[in-house]
Structures are given as C-alpha cells and as structure tokens.
Structure 1
Amino acid sequence: MANKKCECPKGAPAWMTTYGDMVTLLLTFFVLLFAFSSISPGKFQQVAVGLASALSGSPPSVLMGGRSLQEEPLISQRPGVYEEILRISEEYKGKVTIEERDEGTLIIISNLDIFESGSARLTAEAKKLLEKLGAVIIEHTNNTLEIFGYANELPLPESSIYQSNWHLSSARAASVVLFFTTELKQKRSLERIADIQLGRFDPDYYYNPGRFIPIGKGDVEIQKEIKALRAEYEYKLENMRKDLVAGKITREQWNTLVAKLTTETDNKIVNLRKKYRRIDILIKREKAM
C-alpha cells in the first residue's frame, strides 16, 4: 500500500507563540530597567572614546603604552564646544583669552571688574560671563579644573578681613569655585530638569566640588612685571642722565623727558593692575576618569 503523507497543520506551532510572548516580555522588562537607570557620564564618555578610536582604525593597545582613555581636554576634541568658547571670547573681546599649554587648555579672564575692590565678592558682570563659560567647559569635560586667583601689589587696608594679598587671591579663586558648585549648578539643574529626569544629565557628577581646585597666586606675578618696568625706567633714566652730563640735552629737556618717562611708567603700572583683575581656568590635560 502507498504510504499516506502526513499533512502538517497550517501556521506556527503552538510553542512559538509562548516563546514570542516571553521574548517580548523580556525586552519590555529590560527597556523598563534602562528607563529607570541613570547613565554615568564618565563611563559613557569612556565607551564613546573607545568606540571612536576603534572605528578610526587606531584602537588602543599595549604597544601604545596602554592609553585607553582620552587624555585631551574635550573642548579641543569637540569642534562645536571649542567654537562656542571662541564665540564667547569674541563677545568679550580683550577680556577672554584661550591658550593651549602643556598642562591643558587655559582660559584667561582679565581686564574685567571680576571682584569688588579688595574683596572676593564676584560682580554681576563676572557672574554673567562665568555662567556662559561654565555651562560649556564644565558640562562638556570631566577633567579637573584648576581656578587661579590673583591680586595686585597694592597693600590691603587695615580694615581688610584678609591678612595678605595671598589670602585675597585664594579667596577669589574659592569664590569662583563656590559660584560654579552652588549658584550655577542650581540654575543649570532647573534649566535641564527634563534631561535630569531622563538620565541624560547628572549635575552632581559634573558639578562635583572634587573637580575644582582653587589656587591663590597672590601678587607675585604682577610684582615680577612691575620690577621689570622699574628696571627699564632706571635704565632709561640713567642714559638720560649721561646725556645731561655730556651736554647732549639741556636741564629743561631733562625735566621734560623725566616727566614723560615717569608718566609712561605710571600708566603701564595702572594697566598692569587692570590686567591682573584676572581669573584663570585651566582644564587639565589628563585621563578622563
């Protein structure tokens, strides 16, 4: 007798339905877990850097010294961020300068009323600028930020709460750090509340006080420049004195030249004091942790 062929039932077997439901439920479960999770910006950045290196054809290896993490300040690695800093420097032309150094990217704020005279209290103008800079350099890097404060060479009044210009400059650096970690953090948290809720932004990570190192420079830097100016003044004065003795110039010309030289030197010192109304922010060139 001819064998009868078995007819397979139409459609997928019953177990496929159960299997499909299980996979869908697992996927939904993991999506739910991810939605509740908070992305670590540091870990995310490390993964992004690693993928970028691998896809560029130059993955890290032991032959490269084991440097698996990015060592550059990210503002120099992300054109959009760097362009934003340049835009701010153009907006505050002559007041914001960017320098690339061995230690990292240095942002110099000068020729600006950053603090009240003889005080570490930030002015409204300074806070406005620091807010613009901070939102970019703090939230687009996870490198250590060193904040340098300065003071001029003038002695502090007896009523000052600071013992010396060293103390004043240190307090000024600390005031900038305090502004970043309190006022700016609070404002940015309110502005980016949706990102915080979705786990795309963690203000506690970026505005962690441990990232910021306040450093007081005192009046050492300006004293060096003033010393050089005074040495130049004495040199020119001595040459004019020789000309007077040799009869090359008259006493009247001597008096005129001395008055002119003194005024020029005094004006240079005044401009130096304006220059050292200054705060430096250094984005350290180090491994992202």
Structure 2
Amino acid sequence: MPRKKKSYEAPKASWLTTYGDMVTLLLTFFVLLFSMSTISPGKFQQIVVGLRSPLTGLPPSVLTGGKSLAEEPLITSKRGVYEELMRIAEEYKGKITVQEKDEGTVIIMQDMAFFEPASAKLTVEAKELLGRIGAIVIEHTMNVINVYGYADDRPVPADSIYVSNWHLSSARAASVIQFFTDELKRRRSIERLADVRAGRFDPDYFYDPQRFYPIGMGDWPIRKEIEALQKEIEIERNLVLERFKAGEISASQYTASLNELERRYEARLNQLRNVYRRIDILIKRERAK
C-alpha cells in the first residue's frame, strides 16, 4: 500500500505584521515632517518643469524655463533681503513694489523723479534710492540683473541728443547700470574698506559689468494704456451725445459733461505719466557666468 504524501504547509509569515507596522510608522513620521516644512516655490517650480519636460517630450529651452530655473528666486532663497526691500518700500509709501515672476524677482520703482526732464541724467533722489536697493540686491546675489528704462508719450525735444523715446529709455537704463558699476561700486568700496582689505568683500566680483543688461522699453507701454483710456472716454462721449440727441439733457449740460470728460482725461493722463517715471530691476534666476 503506497504511503500517503505529507501535505506541505507554508510557513506562517508573522514577520509581515511587524514589517507593515514599521512601514506605517515611517510613513506617518515623514508625513509629519512634511506637514511642518515650508514648500519653496522656486524648488517646486523646478520639480514641475523637470517632470513636464520628459512627459511632454519637449527638450528644455528658454521658452519653458531652461537655465532660468537653475537658481531659486531671490525672495524665497534670501528672506533677509526680501524683508529689507519691504522695509525700504514702506518708507516710500507704495512707490516701490516687489513681485515674483517666472523669470525672477522684479523690483518696480515708479512715480518718482528718477531723471531730469527728457534726459538720462539721474537725480539726487534717484541715486539715494538706487544706492540703497543696489547694495542689497547686488551684494547678496550673483544673478544676472536686467534694468528696464521707460519714457512717456511726449516726444523728445527737437534739440535733444536722443532720436526718439526708445533711445531715451535705453539711455536711462544704461545710466542706472553705470551708476551701479561705477559710482555705487566706489562708494561701497570705501564704506566696506575693512572688508576689502581682509578679503571678505570683493567689489569687482559683485559689481562685474557682465552681470547687467540695460533694456529700453521706449514709450509703447504707456501708449497702450493711453489708447485704452481714450477708448473709454470716447464711449462716454458717445453716451452723452445720445442723451443730448434724445432730449434727456440740455445743450449746457451736454457742454458741461464734455468738459468734465476732458478734465478727467487730462487728470488720468498726468497720472499715467507719473506712473511711467519708472525703473524696473529684474534679478533673474540665471546665475551670472
């Protein structure tokens, strides 16, 4: 009579219970760490673009971020710098704004007499402000810095050395950079002379002219806003004319309404011109070579 085969019994995997408990505890621990951490927008953006490129099949380029995403923005990487900029902005009562964009950190300074009329010569007030802001953003980063110059809609004088507002705005951007790389560099070298002698501060390193790029915006930004303003006023004029034709208002009321619209247009035009007394400084994520 044949022997009965013994049935095979699988070993009891009691260790899986302990292993599962351990993995659960580790997961809970890391979730706790993540919940107490602060997500860096700059790093998060790098991860998003890094995942997007292989999934979409598109190679990295300047259009999708490219090299500009290699550096974290100034605001998220250096909170002390941002806080100092905010303190200066509070002193100037809303004339300075700091924005974080895809390409980097933008410092917008407006509604101030940065230049003499129809000129690229910096005023004393402008040099004081640019000196304070420049010492912060230049000496705490080695990123590329773009400076944007502007002009308003009024044509340059006939005897001006500038052919157009485009030339004037470019010269204004170049004047700011020259101030940074020449006058401010000398001033900071004297103020930090002890650091220079001790080797703790190298002005040639931070104030390298190759970091800076002047960009003239011309008068097209303000002209776009003026065109929108003109269309708005024209619509209101047509409405007033229709009311007059329908007999809803008298001739004197019609004239008074037109005069009021003209005054409003001039007031808002002057306000726009004050806004475009402006300088923008962009600290790019791209590190200077």
Amino acid at match of 1:151: A
For residue 260 of structure 1, what is the aligned residue in structure 2? 260
Trace 1:146-157 onto structure 2 (pairs within 5 A).
146-157=146-157
For residue 244 of structure 1, what is the aligned residue in structure 2? 244
Alpha-carbon distance in 1 for matches of 2:73, 2:138: 11
Shift of residue 287, structure 1, vs aligned partner: 4.5
For residue 286 of structure 2, what is the aligned residue in structure 1? 286
For residue 275 of structure 1, what is the aligned residue in structure 2? 275
Equivalenced residue count is: 228
The secondary structure found in structure 1 opposite 2:249 is coil
Alpha-carbon distance in 2 for matches of 1:242, 1:266: 23
Shift of residue 102, structure 1, vs aligned partner: 1.1
Alpha-carbon distance in 1 for matches of 2:261, 2:74: 47
Q: Is the 8 A contact 1:97 1:108 kept in 2?
A: yes
Kindly, what percent of the aligned residue pairs are identical?
54
For residue 4 of structure 1, what is the aligned residue in structure 2? none
For residue 10 of structure 1, what is the aligned residue in structure 2? none
The secondary structure found in structure 1 opposite 2:122 is coil
Alpha-carbon distance in 1 for matches of 2:288, 2:101: 18
The secondary structure found in structure 2 opposite 1:286 is strand
For residue 129 of structure 1, what is the aligned residue in structure 2? 129
Shift of residue 77, structure 1, vs aligned partner: 1.3
The secondary structure found in structure 1 opposite 2:147 is strand
For residue 164 of structure 2, what is the aligned residue in structure 1? 164
Amino acid at match of 2:279: I
TM-score (norm 1): 0.75
Trace 1:227-242 onto structure 2 (pairs within 5 A).
227-242=227-242
Alpha-carbon distance in 2 for matches of 1:141, 1:73: 10
For residue 84 of structure 1, what is the aligned residue in structure 2? 84
The secondary structure found in structure 2 opposite 1:259 is helix
Alpha-carbon distance in 2 for matches of 1:283, 1:76: 13
Mean Cα deviation higher: 275-284 or 188-197: 188-197
Mean Cα deviation higher: 99-108 or 111-120: 99-108
Amino acid at match of 1:218: G
Shift of residue 156, structure 1, vs aligned partner: 1.1
Alpha-carbon distance in 2 for matches of 1:120, 1:236: 38
Shift of residue 282, structure 1, vs aligned partner: 0.4
Shift of residue 288, structure 1, vs aligned partner: 6.4
Alpha-carbon distance in 2 for matches of 1:287, 1:154: 37
Pairwise CA RMSD of aligned residues?
A: 2.2
Q: Is the 8 A contact 2:70 2:285 kept in 1?
A: no
Shift of residue 72, structure 1, vs aligned partner: 1.5
TM-score (norm 2): 0.75
For residue 175 of structure 1, what is the aligned residue in structure 2? 175
Shift of residue 103, structure 1, vs aligned partner: 1.2
Trace 1:22-171 onto structure 2 (pairs within 5 A).
71-171=71-171
The secondary structure found in structure 2 opposite 1:145 is strand
Alpha-carbon distance in 2 for matches of 1:199, 1:75: 27
For residue 41 of structure 1, what is the aligned residue in structure 2? none
Shift of residue 74, structure 1, vs aligned partner: 3.0
Amino acid at match of 2:86: L
Alpha-carbon distance in 2 for matches of 1:287, 1:123: 30
Alpha-carbon distance in 1 for matches of 2:186, 2:77: 28
Mean Cα deviation higher: 191-200 or 175-184: 191-200
Alpha-carbon distance in 1 for matches of 2:75, 2:119: 31
For residue 55 of structure 1, what is the aligned residue in structure 2? none
Q: Is the 8 A contact 1:148 1:281 kept in 2?
A: yes
Amino acid at match of 1:278: R
